[in-house]
Amino acid sequence: MSRSDVLVDADWVDAHKNDPGVVLVEVDEDTTAYDTGHIPGAIKIDWKKDLQDPVRRDFVDRAGFEALLSERGISNDDTVILYGGNNNWFAAYAYWYFRLYGHRGVKLLDGGRKKWELDSRELVKEVPDRPRTAYHATEQDSALRAFRDEVVSAIGQLNLVDVRSPDEFAGRLLAPAHLPQEQAQRGGHIPTAKNVPWSKAANDDGTFRSDGELTTLYRDQAGLDFSRDTIAYCRIGERSAHTWFVLHELLDQPNVKNYDGSWTEYGSLVGVPIELGDGQ
């Protein structure tokens, strides 16, 4: 898969945003930004309200995903262009989610909302009206999602990539530093995990680094064995969706799973091994 199959840039969006069959979607945990201005023609998906189960800790099931996309006016044949804040974390999570449920025509806007804003491109408040569709999702693709037992089994066996910041990896912080620090879980990381912060895969403006730079980062510097399967994790699974996108979609690694339970689950499990301290 080449970069152009999974990424578009802002010029492409400007040229194609009104094409039939192209749907722009802003995805964020906090949709205040969308409400104050978004790319012309874009609809919104709220990561929390729309994509998470309101009761259990899980994301919405197949029927829920079908209902969401039908209500937003997205068809199975549409090319969905996802973008968002937080350096596209939640957009990458949604991308992973579209892939889990079998949508093929989905791409990320490289640099997301941040680059669009820093380039002073147009943002509007007008909300488009899209007619309802009848969307059909497939069953979840289990090849893309890791659960806790296979993560424990993967210690010392598979590539485990902890994409949190070095301070979270070492156990000095329990959450990203833009959030108050929590007390509920243990700090540290899964033994044998390599610490490759998601941010190393991106430039300051939020765009992805080149394939050559990314290969050097993961294979040569971090020491990932590209002949082995890989599981990526972070705190709740959206930063690691960003890294899943890099490894699976940009670098074409065949067997990469995102562990969306991530540290808020693993760091609260009874009896599992935890390692403290900085990465190598």
What is d(CA 180, CA 38) in angstroms, rounded to the nearest whole number? 28
- Check 94, 151, 234, 256 and give the catalytic one: 234
- Contact range with another protein by CB under 8 A, out of 59-67, 104-112, 163-171, 246-254: 163-171
- For residue 248, give the nearest of 144, 140, 138 by alpha carbon: 144
DSSP assignment letter at 166: H
Query: CB under 8 Å to 248, separation ≥6 — which residues?
Result: 144, 254, 256
Q: Smaller CB distance to another protein: residue 103 or 242?
A: 242
Q: What is the DSSP string of 105-132?
A: SEEEETTHHHHHHHTT---B-PPP----
Q: Catalytic annotation on 185?
A: no
Q: How far is the CB of 230 from another protein (least distance, A)?
A: 21
| Per-residue x/- track, 3-42, another protein (CB under 8 A) | -------------------------xxx-xx---------
* Residue of 44, 72, 107, 239 interacting with another protein (CB under 8 A): 239
- Closer Cβ to another protein, 33 or 143, answer by number: 33
Among 4, 181, 210, 221, binds another protein (CB under 8 A): 181
User: Could you give the C-alpha distances from 158 to 129, 213, 249, 257, in angstroms and in order?
Assistant: 46, 23, 19, 11
Coil, strand or helix at 78: coil
Give residue for tokens 């390599």.
194
Q: Pick from 2, 55, 120, 280: which binds another protein (CB under 8 A)?
A: 120
Q: Does 86 bind another protein (CB under 8 A)?
A: yes
Q: Which two tokens stand for residue 9?
A: 């840039």
Residues that bind another protein (CB under 8 A): 28-30, 32-33, 47-48, 52, 57, 85-87, 89-90, 114, 117-120, 165-167, 172-173, 175-182, 184-185, 197, 199-200, 204-205, 234-236, 238-239, 264
- Active-site annotation, residues: 234
